[in-house]
Amino acid sequence: MINNWVTPVKQPLLSIIIPAYNEEKRLPGTLESIKTFLSEQPYDAELLVIENGSTDNTFEHAKSYIDSFPELRVIHEDHAGKGLAVKRGMLEATGAYRFICDADLSMPIEQVNRFIPPMLDADIVIGSREAPGAVRYNEPEYRHILGRFFNDVVRILALPGLKDTQCGFKCFRASVAEDLFPYQTRTGWTFDVEILYIATLRGYKIVELGIPWYFNAESKVNVLKDARRVFTDLVTIRQNARRGVYNKTSQIGRAHV
C-alpha cells in the first residue's frame, strides 16, 4: 500500500478577482492597497488579476508584484471583455467566497469584510449605490441620471427586484459561482445582469449592500455609447432563458468557458 503524504492545501476564505484591461496606471496603487489590507486580516485570502486584451503594460506591471505579494496570481486572457475576465477569474479562484473588485477601487477595499460572514450571510452580496446607507462621492449629476436610466431598463427587462446591478463589487459563495459562471454567455459589462438573472432563476438569495462609492472620471463605461449593445444584450438574456440556455442540463453556456 502506498501512503499519500501530500499535505492538503488550505482553502482561502476569500478570493478577490480584478478584471484588468489597460490598467497600468491605476493597478499599482490598487495592488499596494489590497496587499496592505490582506496583510492585516485574520483569514487566508488570494488575489487574482485577470488581464485581457490590454494594449499597455498591465500584465507586466501586475507580474512585477508576484515576488513580494505571495497571495497574488496574475492570469492572461487573450480576448478582451470585462465579463470574460471575471468569468475566468471566478472559475480559477479557490476561495470559499469570491469577490469581484473593480481595478479603480472606487469602493475602499476595507469594505470587503462587510460582504462576507459573520458580517453578512447570503448566496450573493452586491455592492449598491442605491441601497440604504450608500453614499456617492464626486459623481456628476449627468452620470447619476444615466446610471439610473440604465438600471431602470434592467429592472424592466430582467431584474425588477434590484436597484443597482452595475456596481463593480459583488461577492459569491464558491458553490454559487461554480454553478452560475459556466452558463455565462455575455463577455462585456452586461455580464452582471446575466449572472444575477440566472441566479434569480435558480432561487439564490441576493442581498444589496449600500456602500461608499467614489466616482472615477477615468471609468471605461460609456452608457450612451454602449446603449444599443446593452439593450441587445438584455433582450438576448431573456431569449436565452426562454430557449433553456441557462438550464442545468444545457451545454450551450458551458461552451463559452
Domain regions of the chain by residue span: 14-246
Q: How high is the pLDDT of residue 2?
A: 42
Rounded to the nearest 10 degrees, how much is the dihedral formed by the CA atoms of 89, 70, 55, 57? Answer: 170
Distances (CA, A) of 62 to 25, 74, 141: 11, 7, 34
Q: How far is the C-alpha of 242 from the C-alpha of 175, rounded, in Å?
A: 25
Rounded to two decimals, what is the model's pTM? 0.91
A 10 A CB-CB count for 212 gives 16
Q: How high is the pLDDT of residue 245?
A: 96
Q: How high is the pLDDT of residue 165?
A: 93
Q: How high is the pLDDT of residue 227?
A: 73
Q: Are 209 and 130 in contact (CB under 8 A)?
A: no
Distances (CA, A) of 91 to 94, 117, 135, 137: 8, 21, 32, 33
Q: How high is the pLDDT of residue 134?
A: 96
pLDDT tens-digit profile, the chain (257 residues)? 444 455 556 899 999 999 999 999 999 999 999 999 999 999 999 999 999 989 999 999 999 999 999 999 999 998 889 999 999 999 999 999 999 999 999 999 999 999 999 999 999 999 999 999 999 999 999 888 888 888 888 999 899 999 999 999 999 999 999 999 999 999 998 999 999 999 999 999 999 999 999 998 766 656 566 777 888 999 999 999 999 999 988 655 554 43
Q: Which fold has domain 14-246?
A: Spore Coat Polysaccharide Biosynthesis Protein SpsA; Chain A (3.90.550)
